[in-house]
């Protein structure tokens, strides 16, 4: 029974040390990371794809897939609201 207590304490100690190391790793990486602006044209394209997919699945399968239509509308709205930030491609 005494050996089991040492094993449990050892596992807890290893988990605590691992947690501290992971926390330090995330804090160091957070300082190095720069926020990049998303590609709003991709939001529009994804929304344009989800909209007809949701409509077709809703008609064929059932109203369960109406969420795809909603996601498509939301993504298209995000893309169109930020149309001035789209990247120019030649």
Length reported for the chain: 90
Asked if residue 90 belongs to a domain, the reply is no
Judgement on whether residues 47 and 59 belong to the same structural domain of the protein: yes
Judgement on whether residues 46 and 77 belong to the same structural domain of the protein: yes
Three-state DSSP string of 32-77: HCCCCCCCHHHHHHHHHHHHHHHHHHHHHCCHHHHHHHHHHHHHHH
CB contact burial 46-79 (16+ within 10 A = b; e otherwise):
bbeebbeebeebbeeeeeebeebbebbeebbeeb
Domain boundaries, position 16: 1-36
pTM of the model: 0.58
pLDDT in tens, 10-41: 888 888 999 888 888 887 777 666 777 788 89
Asked if residue 89 belongs to a domain, the reply is no
Asked if residue 21 belongs to a domain, the reply is yes
pLDDT in tens, 30-73: 766 677 778 889 999 999 999 999 999 999 988 888 899 999 99
């Amino acid at each position: 029974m005494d050996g089991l207590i040492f094993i449990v304490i050892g596992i807890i100690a290893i988990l605590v040390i691992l947690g501290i190391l992971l926390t330090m790793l995330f804090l160091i990486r957070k300082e190095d990371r720069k926020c990049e602006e998303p590609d709003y044209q991709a939001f529009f394209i994804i929304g344009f794809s989800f909209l007809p997919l949701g409509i077709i699945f809703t008609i064929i399968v059932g109203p369960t897939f109406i969420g795809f239509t909603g996601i498509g509308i939301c993504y298209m709205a995000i893309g169109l609201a930020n149309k001035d930030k789209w990247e120019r491609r030649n």
